[in-house]
């Protein structure tokens, strides 16, 4: 059931047509229910009012007929009076045009002190028990007026509402007697049940018809929008020649025409950008390769000059040292540009093998120790006892780690640098943490941008090219991994590298936290 509910919820979120049709049907059902309720109440009140008026008129006429019969009666004894009462009861039931569902009860009035007591009569299953004491008291208090009451009676095991009309007749020698006419509303209840069933069937049918109409109407609108979404997905997948079919001259046709015009414009601009990007990549690649030949010659000449600097004047010897250092930086920049051009061209590939990340980390820490000593930073490696193995390209991963450690030392301002290694169920992670200047809000997203510097006025002391972190990010993405940065001004920075243990696997989390205050 949970799966079914989840599928239904997903379908509800994804289908505009389903939401529109369902909402229309619900609103239609609400309107039909409200209208049916109002009509039901009006019909019920009309039937009840008509029944009351008819019953009162009939009861008044029958009570007058009964009084006339009593006035003309010559009976004096109890037996004769009882017989006369039974005869009158029979005439009342057989009166022309009378209601066949009417019940009549005659009983001695409250306060009648005559010595002659007649038997209480009833015309059917209903007797004096259905008449409330309040109605009996009201009839006795106002013998010249009809008294009415709505009550409930039981007929055939079914509870029905009933209208009771009470009046008083004077029996010769026996005093006042109450005459009650009981009118069960069984026919009216049956009529209202029929009307209710008709309303329900008509309401459901109308709701379904409204839903069908809404489905047809929304399909005419949703289908082109759905086609536009499918075409947009294919465009985003790189199929730039996809277009929407356009028919007619209505608003949807205008949408299709505008969408196709937008797609044409995007295709043209993307092709222009691809052309410019290809030219740029070719330029960088060609320039980098072309510079290698003269750079080799310059390197040979600089090495000869640098080796002979002891015989030069002090200023010339210093110039030779500066020339050699800047040439080293130029060669590093050239190598980084070539690597970036490979990433841009999509030519970078992995040479995957199972590697314990503790080994390249130890090599990186040892290689950067002279730089750390010069900067006054102590690099501490925190590694677990268990192997931190992953299927990676060791050369690229070691380059990432070296860039991160060098960056931490350079910006650590002589404070300690800590390197943490974590192993999870399906991933390994390395966090390089410094306690230097840190990063301002928003700078963590810019540190991997090519040639970006947090402080442009800050001089590079380690000969960096400005491409190290960019290359590291591309290397991490090539492994389907994450390279993330966190920093706080005056607290320091943390860089986290997370790699899947299996090549090509998808990461779902990292065994180490990115910031000191969060869980991994």
Same domain, 438 and 401: yes
- Among the candidates 326, 345, 364, a domain finishes at 345
Same domain, 399 and 337: no
- Among the candidates 303, 319, 345, a domain finishes at 345
> Considering the domain boundaries, does residue 222 fall inside one?
no
Domain span holding position 104? 18-193
> Considering the domain boundaries, does residue 505 fall inside one?
no
The alpha carbon of 148 is separated from its chain's Cα centroid by a whole number of angstroms, namely: 59
Backbone φ and ψ of 390, nearest 5°: -155, 155
> Considering the domain boundaries, does residue 208 fall inside one?
no
Res 285: pLDDT: 66
Same domain, 472 and 331: no
Res 115: pLDDT: 84
Same domain, 358 and 339: no
**β-pair partners for 353:** 392
Same domain, 32 and 77: yes
User: Which CATH number does the domain housing residue 301 bear?
Assistant: 1.10.287.130
Res 315: pLDDT: 85
Same domain, 386 and 318: no
Number of structural domains in the chain: 3
- What's the token pair of residue 434? 């410094």
Same domain, 28 and 151: yes
> Considering the domain boundaries, does residue 231 fall inside one?
no
Same domain, 170 and 41: yes
- Among the candidates 293, 312, 345, a domain finishes at 345
Same domain, 379 and 488: yes
> Considering the domain boundaries, does residue 487 fall inside one?
yes
The CA angle 388-433-514, to the nearest 5 degrees, is 70
Same domain, 292 and 146: no
Res 421: pLDDT: 94
> Considering the domain boundaries, does residue 438 fall inside one?
yes
**CB under 8 Å to 96, separation ≥6 — which residues?**
none
Res 97: pLDDT: 55
> Considering the domain boundaries, does residue 217 fall inside one?
no
**β-pair partners for 492:** 488
Res 209: pLDDT: 92
**Helix H or strand E encompassing 275:** helix 251-307
DSSP 157: T
**β-pair partners for 163:** 150, 183
Same domain, 380 and 481: yes
Report residues of the chain scoring pLDDT below 70. 94-100, 250, 252, 277, 280-281, 283-285, 287-289, 344-347, 453-465, 519-520
- What's the token pair of residue 29? 């059902």
Res 339: pLDDT: 73
Backbone φ and ψ of 167, nearest 5°: -150, 175
User: Which CATH number does the domain housing residue 28 bear?
Assistant: 3.30.450.20
- H/E/C letters for each residue in 391-419? EECHHHHHHHHHHHHHHHHHHCCCCCEEE
Same domain, 361 and 455: yes
- For residues 24 and 211, what is the distance between their CA atoms, to the nearest angstrom? 6
DSSP 439: -
> Considering the domain boundaries, does residue 69 fall inside one?
yes
């Amino acid at each position: 059931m949970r799966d079914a509910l989840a599928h239904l919820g997903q379908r509800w979120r994804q289908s505009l047509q389903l939401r529109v049709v369902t909402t229309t049907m619900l609103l239609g059902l609400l309107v039909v229910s409200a209208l049916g309720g109002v009509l039901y109440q009006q019909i019920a009140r009309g039937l009840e009012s008509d029944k009351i008026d008819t019953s009162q008129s009939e009861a008044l006429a029958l009570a007058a007929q009964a009084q006339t019969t009593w006035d003309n009666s010559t009976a004096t004894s109890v037996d004769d009076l009882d017989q006369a009462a039974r005869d009158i009861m029979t005439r009342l039931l057989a009166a022309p045009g009378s209601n066949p569902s009417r019940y009549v009860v005659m009983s001695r009035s409250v306060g009648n002190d005559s010595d002659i007591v007649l038997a209480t009569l009833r015309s059917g299953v209903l007797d004096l028990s259905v008449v409330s004491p309040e109605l009996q008291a009201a009839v006795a208090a106002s013998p010249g007026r009809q008294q009415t009451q709505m009550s409930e009676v039981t007929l055939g095991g079914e509870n029905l509402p009933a209208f009771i009309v009470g009046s008083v007749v004077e029996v010769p020698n026996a005093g006042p007697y109450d005459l009650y006419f009981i009118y069960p509303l069984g026919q009216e209840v049956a009529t209202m049940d029929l009307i209710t069933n008709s309303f329900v069937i008509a309401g459901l049918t109308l709701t379904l018809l409204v839903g069908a109409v809404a489905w047809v109407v929304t399909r005419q609108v949703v289908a082109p929008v759905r086609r536009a979404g499918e075409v947009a997905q294919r465009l985003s997948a790189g199929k730039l020649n996809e277009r929407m079919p356009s028919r007619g001259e209505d608003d949807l046709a205008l949408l299709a025409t505008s969408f196709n015009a937008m797609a044409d414009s995007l295709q043209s601009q993307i092709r222009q950008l691809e052309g410019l990007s290809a030219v740029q990549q070719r330029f960088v690649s060609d320039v980098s390769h072309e510079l290698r030949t003269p750079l080799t010659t310059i390197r040979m000449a600089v090495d000869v000059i640098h080796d002979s600097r002891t015989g030069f004047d002090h200023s010339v010897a210093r110039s030779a040292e500066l020339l050699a250092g800047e040439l080293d930086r130029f060669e590093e920049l050239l190598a980084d540009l070539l690597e970036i051009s490979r990433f841009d061209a999509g030519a970078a590939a992995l040479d995957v093998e199972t590697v314990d990340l503790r080994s390249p980390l130890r090599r990186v820490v040892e290689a950067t120790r002279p730089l750390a000593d010069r900067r006054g930073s102590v690099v501490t490696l925190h590694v677990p006892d268990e192997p931190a193995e992953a299927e990676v390209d060791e050369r690229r991963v070691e380059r990432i780690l070296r860039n991160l450690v060098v960056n931490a030392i350079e910006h650590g301002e002589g404070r300690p640098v800590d390197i943490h290694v974590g192993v999870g169920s399906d991933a390994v992670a390395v966090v390089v943490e410094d306690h230097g200047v840190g990063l301002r809000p928003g700078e963590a997203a810019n540190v991997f941008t090519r040639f970006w510097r947090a402080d442009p006025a800050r001089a590079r002391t380690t000969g960096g090219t400005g491409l190290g972190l960019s290359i590291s990010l591309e290397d991490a993405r090539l492994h389907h991994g994450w390279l993330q940065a966190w920093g706080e001004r005056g607290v320091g920075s943390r860089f986290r590298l997370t790699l899947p243990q299996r090549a090509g696997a998808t990461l779902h989390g990292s065994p180490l936290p990115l910031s000191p205050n969060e869980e991994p």
